[in-house]
Amino acid sequence: MESQIQKLKSGMLADLKVATSEVEIKEVEVKYFGRQGLFGDIMKSLKDLSAEEKQTVGKAANMTKKELEGATGKRYAEVEHEKLSAIAEEEWMDVTVPGKKPSVGHRHLISKFIDDIEQVFAKMGFEMAEGPEIEKEYYNFDQLNIPETHPARDMHDTFWVKNLEKYVLRTHTSPVQIHYMEDHKPPIRVIAPGKTFRKDSDATHSPMFHQLEGLMVDTDISMANLKAVLTQALQQIFEDDSIKTRFRVSYFPFVEPGMEIDCTCPICKGNGKLGDGVPCRLCKQCGWLEIAGAGMVHPKVLKNVGLDPEKYTGFAFGMGLDRMIMIKYRINHLRLFFENDLRFIQQF
Ligand code: PHE
């Protein structure tokens, strides 16, 4: 009997040794300890023994069973360990290897410049306004007192939206004046930067460009206010207190009087030539740069939005932003803004 137990023990140990998965170990367990298991057979045959033998053999059997249960547990642990080491071996990675740095983008120079300008005007109490880039003819032209026959409405200059009659890609930011005055009563102090579109494309013109509209309307607004606001703004934008402005008579249907505003050239400081006597190429030696169209809001425009021109006056201006950025950051090709060449973009 005892030798039978011995045999069973070495049999099970051998079986466990070759069991290489949980399932296989389970099978070995069933084979020996299961209801029809080999161990059970031994226990059953105990009943034929004498009381004395029953005790010694029974004891031995129980001890062996315990031992074998221990061995089974150990085998489970081994197999689990082997499994984990295999995974570790396969999926091993060196966490100390320096990572790949993702390249982080940033806002485009034009967007940053617009933010800066907003700050400058915000300090003078100007709020931000927006209008649609696909604009109704009514806002882009009619309400701004631009007559039916005005050349700006020409197919050659303006992008008319196909299949959408009376819609254009806005040719300037001035329609935002109308939107804003429709929704707000004076006092009005607002700027509206944004994209504008004209059928222009050469070295210094892009069909999409950026403007900044300014509008101030109240009971006592004069050209002196326009001069003060723009001079102050340009000095801050170019970070140069020496900048001066001058007005030249001009014409826009939505202002009266209308003017072009020039500022002293930030490169040669208005001298027309640089320190070493070299002629300034930016301002073509004249010392001044054309920077904005402007004027006093036309009484008809005020009437169009329901404001009494006897009571209210205001100024408006429209600046081209792209050239200002080029001047400030000494960029010599307009195209660089729009070509998405990272070697350029990453410099700012
Ligand atoms: N909208 C004009 C243009 O695009 C500029 C302008 C704005 C002129 C406001 C006067 C007043 O040329």
Q: Looking at the structure, give the CATH architecture of the domain made up of residues 109-345.
A: 2-Layer Sandwich (3.30)
Quote the pLDDT of residue 54.
85
Quote the pLDDT of residue 203.
84
As a whole number of angstroms, the distance between CA 89 and CA 82 comes to 10
Sign of torsion over alpha carbons 236, 118, 294, 310? negative
Query: How far, in Å, is the centroid of ligand 1 from the Cα of 196?
Result: 12
Closest CA to 315 of 331, 301, 304, 326: 301
**Ligand 1 pocket mutation, candidates 174, 251, 262, 324, criterion most atoms within 8 A of CB:** 174
As a whole number of angstroms, the distance between CA 10 and CA 309 comes to 112
Helix, strand or coil, per DSSP, at residue 44:
helix
C-beta neighbour count of 38 within 10 angstroms: 15
Quote the pLDDT of residue 43.
83
| DSSP state letter for 202 | B
Query: How far, in Å, is the centroid of ligand 1 from the Cα of 306?
Result: 21
Q: Regarding beta strands 127-128 and 188-197, do their DSSP bridges make them parallel or antiparallel, or are they unpaired?
A: parallel
Pocket of ligand 1 (CB under 6 A): 172, 174, 252, 255, 293-295, 316-318
Residue nearest to atom 9 of ligand 1 (CA): 317
Kindly report, residue by residue over 59-87, the tens digit of the pLDDT.
888 899 999 999 999 999 999 999 999 99
- Predicted TM-score (pTM) of the model is 0.72
Residue nearest to atom 7 of ligand 1 (CA): 318
Q: Looking at ligand 1, which atom is closest to the CA of residue 215?
A: 9
- Which element (helix H / strand E) includes 192? strand 188-197
Helix, strand or coil, per DSSP, at residue 73:
helix
Amino acid residing at 206 = S
As a whole number of angstroms, the distance between CA 295 and CA 301 comes to 12
Kindly report, residue by residue over 323-342, the tens digit of the pLDDT.
999 999 999 898 999 998 98
Residue 36 is encoded by which pair of tokens?
């029809």
Task: Using the predicted structure, report yes or no on whether residue 42 has a pLDDT greater than 90.
Answer: no
